[in-house]
Amino acid sequence: MYCLKRIIFYDLGKENYWLVLMIFSLILIGIGIFKPFDLENKNPYNYFFVGGFVLQVLYYSRLFWFRNTILFNKKGIVIRINSFFGKSLRFDEITTAEFNEKILTLSKTNGHQIKIDLNEFSDADSRKLFEIMIHNSGIKK
């Protein structure tokens, strides 16, 4: 039995807990730099500083946690399918999107076409990616 792969979707506009985590990390870094409290032992400031950067590494590394990920917001999308870095696209530069035989074809305003092979992924995930492209780029079906 062949098991289809899944695509992990991150809607950056709806994940507010990551924003809270980033603000908290900046506060920790600020405490580590400016040392606003009068402490006899200065070691906790180093821990605040390092802890803030560890939280930032967690935030920025989540793209690489899974092999097939899609990050998007209302302005653009990063499609990382079967590649290490992926493709970054703005929705306003996409003119057409077609989904035929598990191949997603995107046409850009400069005439370039991007073909994404979705044969090894579930139908639900393939459809969801197509719907995200249609909904956010303003293309009519």
**Whether residues 77 and 126 fall in one domain:** yes
pLDDT at 122 over 60: yes
CATH number of the domain that residue 99 is part of = 2.30.29.30
Q: Is residue 6 part of a domain?
A: no
Name the domain count of the chain.
2
Q: Is residue 124 part of a domain?
A: yes
Domain boundary among 64, 84, 105: 64
pLDDT at 16 over 60: yes
Q: Is residue 29 part of a domain?
A: yes
Structural domain boundaries, residue 60 = 12-64
pLDDT at 84 over 90: no
Q: Where are the beta strands (DSSP E) in 1-141?
A: 8-11, 69-72, 76-80, 87-90, 94-100, 103-108, 113-117
**Whether residues 87 and 121 fall in one domain:** yes
Instruction: Provide the pLDDT for residue 1.
Output: 47
Q: pLDDT confidence of 141, banded at 50, 70, 90?
A: low
**Whether residues 132 and 80 fall in one domain:** yes
